[in-house]
Amino acid sequence: MPPFVWEQHCCLPLLPSARVAELARFPVGSYLSVNIGYAPHSTADAVAMAELLRKDALDDGRFRLVQRHRDIAGCAGESRALAFDLEDSGPLGGRLDNIAMFYELGVRSLATTYNHANAAGCGCLDTEDTGLTGYGRDIVRTLNTVGMFVDGSHCSRRSGLEMAELTDAPMIYSHSNFAALWAHPRNITDDQARACAATGGVVGINGVGIFLGHNAESERAERVAAMARHIEYGAELLGIEHIGIGSDYSFDNAEFNEEILAHPENFSADYTKYGPLQWTPPEDLLGYAEVPGLDEVLADRGFSESDRAAVFGGNFARVAAEVWAD
């Protein structure tokens, strides 16, 4: 079993009702990056979410807020490391100096766009892909300076390629699968993946049914197997050192499905035509439930213990040590 899980992106409700206790479903020693805002949210919204979760984590006692990379190792055997991410540059409010402010609050990765074009560039659901804007390019440079991950998930293909060209540090796709295996517009091309790997970065494979081609409620085991296939494909394409986990599990899954229906401007038929979204829960990563866990499935496919440890945590931990400003 891998020594720990590095979960590069998961979601609690973006509401005052959010509670970090839900994250205890991940094993002790895990690193957990939780989303605190995307396209609909203001700077104040995202700050309030970060402050709520920080206080809740301290009150709970089973979580340690990440300030430095070494904080993660300090969690082994006793707690879970907690950090945050932004899925869109909208919460910056147009101010580059807010990147440093969010870093101090524990945000360690930022994607420029969420599905559709904004002031920073194009999203993965835009029909015309013009890539990054000048402001988007400035965001990438500022992320490098501050020491935060440049994240290409939800961004357009051209935007992702331009991020890879601009960044001076390893970039990531925090939670993106391979379009070569399932042609969903949220999945990334081989060119995007290669460009990310060329920076030294990592692609985090997610467990969302519509991005895996297995979205029926009954296809829980099939989602795990599909995640394993995307990991296998990525390892063959890029090398095992460039693949990780960003499951995108939504602890607010009912609320998120309602959000998709209530705010179609942030999504498209590519999100809704398969029925309510289904996810791969934390229990299915290491096999605590009734279906074979991802770790077991990868072992059965010939992945060594060291390979699995790299995918489940080592690869993202390595690039974080290089990118983060500590």
**Domain chopping of the chain, boundaries:** 6-323
pLDDT class for 325, splitting at 50, 70, 90?
A: confident
Whether the predicted pLDDT of 73 surpasses 80 = no
Give the whole-angstrom CA distance, residue 96 versus residue 252. Answer: 30
Whether the predicted pLDDT of 99 surpasses 90 = yes
Spatial CB neighbours of 232, under 8 Å, sequence gap ≥ 6? 298, 301, 303
User: CATH number for the 6-323 domain, one of 3.40.50.720, 3.90.650.10, 3.90.480.20, 3.20.20.140?
Assistant: 3.20.20.140
pLDDT tens track for 285-299: 988 777 899 999 999
Nearest partner of 278 among 181, 233, 213, 230, judged by Cα:
213
Q: Are strands 80-86 and 6-10 parallel, antiparallel or unpaired?
A: unpaired
Give the whole-angstrom CA distance, residue 238 versus residue 295. Answer: 20
Question: What average pLDDT does range 269-273 have in this prediction?
Answer: 90
pTM: predicted TM-score of the whole model, two decimal places: 0.96
User: For residue 233, what are the CA distances in angstroms to 62, 64, 186?
Assistant: 35, 34, 17
pLDDT at residue 255, rounded to an integer: 85
Whether the predicted pLDDT of 143 surpasses 80 = yes
pLDDT at residue 137, rounded to an integer: 98
Nearest partner of 2 among 315, 320, 307, judged by Cα:
307
pLDDT tens track for 36-57: 999 999 999 999 999 999 999 9
**Using an 8 Å Cβ cutoff, are 202 and 242 in contact?**
yes
Whether the predicted pLDDT of 3 surpasses 70 = no
pLDDT tens track for 219-264: 999 999 999 999 999 999 999 999 999 999 999 888 888 888 888 8
What amino acid occupies position 223? R
